[in-house]
Amino acid sequence: MITQKMKYALKALLVLADEATRPKPEALTIEEIAKRSGTPKRFLEHILLEVRNAGVIASIRGRSGGYSLIKKPSDVSISELLRTIDGPIAPLPCLSRRAYQRCEDCADEATCRIRKVFAEVFWSYLLIIDSLTLEDMLRSSEAADQVLGA
């Protein structure tokens, strides 16, 4: 399950990606991103700072400042964003690639039935989530708009 914070990050990035596709894209203020994404402004500043520190967006100071996408949507990995915003995505610490920890109550990982079952589910999930990008989400929302006649 993704957190509300992650949902806000995705909504903000989709707004910035939409803006980047315009003929004359502009940097968007936090207020404008919040308005377009339906995200509370008070949470957005901290979230955008994390995303900026991950190298996905840039912040521009000054009168015409704001935030803009600096990576192509096809280069923004959803799984990397999940890890940046929510931390490790593995269901058990012993399955994490980047934050591995042995389970305190585990006598033997090789024979742990809980680990084996969750490993199968998690690897299937990883195959999908590791392949998703912001561009996939943009295309998905465009297809939904066409179906709904928006």
Please list the residues that pair with 60 across neighbouring strands. Answer: 66
Q: pTM here? A: 0.83
Q: Select from 59, 55, 77, 76 the least CA-distant residue to 68.
A: 59
The confidence band for 142, taking pLDDT boundaries of 50, 70 and 90, is low
Contact between 139 and 132 under an 8 Å Cβ cutoff? The reply is: no
Task: Judge whether 124 lies within some domain.
Answer: yes
Task: Judge whether 21 lies within some domain.
Answer: yes
Please list the residues that pair with 67 across neighbouring strands. Answer: 28, 59
Give the H/E segment covering residue 55.
none
How many domains does one find in the chain? 1
DSSP string covering 66-77, please?
EEEE-S-GGG-B
In three-state secondary structure terms, 59 is: strand
Task: Judge whether 92 lies within some domain.
Answer: yes
Task: Judge whether 150 lies within some domain.
Answer: no
pLDDT at 71: 95
Task: Judge whether 24 lies within some domain.
Answer: yes
pLDDT in tens, 48-84: 999 999 999 999 888 878 999 999 999 999 999 999 9
Q: Which domain holds residue 47?
A: 4-145
Q: What is the CATH number of the domain that holds 12?
A: 1.10.10.10
